[in-house]
Amino acid sequence: MTYLPDEAIGRLRRAADAPDFSGTRYCVIEEIGRGGMGVVYRAEDSVLGRTVALKVMDDAATEREAKIMASLEHPGIVPVHDAGMLPDGRAFYAMKLVEGTPLSSYGGALADRLRVFQKICEAVAFAHSRGVVHGDLKPDNIMIGAFGEVLTMDWGVPGVVAGTRGYMAPETTAGPAVDIYSLGAILRDLAGGQETRAALTAIIARAMARNPDSRYASALELRDEVARYVDGQRVAAHREGLGERIARVFMKHRVAILLVAAYLVMRIALLVLLHR
């Protein structure tokens, strides 16, 4: 008896599962992603002559996800272009093909990463204002485009507790507070690898509080708190001591303080020289 290698079996399975887009405007180029929520393909839109991403699933979840995403018209959320049914009964939808860097691989200075985080909060806040909860926010679901655009993806699990370990809130009900917790975990990752000041640590701790009522009330409130930190202002989550306040004020105005100090040193030096 001859056994096929696992790799060959995998290729045959993918070939058998390949969607039939005959009769549609799309020509599949290649598979670019596969997970529990479906398979994503790179495809060519023959009508508009552009490359898109096609997501295909086996049940009605795709149609529901497409309608959810189509209702979220925001610069930070991947736009949906089209939706339909395949001859084999599977649903699909076409969306913008996002090419860039996953947040998990994004570098740069801490201040730059925190500004990216603020854009993520704005997209999540917009979705919440439309009654949509993501439910599975994590760095792999966020892409940084080639021109600095920040896009939050995979909005297909609203109302379902389907988070990822390390980013999933401890409660079992899916509400906006679940996303606030996940945002706190993302902020923790963005701040990692550097000496984190107490104020930023306090922001992360509040966002990831076990009690949902102890977290920030909204994604915009969390965004504003991080903005205050970036701007060198006092944050609500942390009660700073006198030494911390002096250090914060110095860091915020250090250029002006150093210029004044240099000026005073020069004046004193001149006075000493003139009185010799």
Helix axes 242-252, 254-274, angle to 10 degrees: 80
Q: Give me the residue label for tokens 């699990």.
A: 157
Q: Are 209 and 215 in contact (CB under 8 A)?
A: yes
Single out the catalytic residue among 45, 82, 136, 179: 136
Residue 179 annotated to the active site: no
Query: 158 CB contacts (<8 Å, ≥6 apart)?
Result: 68, 132, 133, 134, 135, 174
**Pairing, β 150-152 against β 80-85:** unpaired
The set of residues, in sequence order, having a beta carbon less than 8 Å from that of 167 and lying 6+ positions away, is 136, 137, 138, 181, 182, 185, 186
Query: Catalytic residues, which ones?
Result: 136
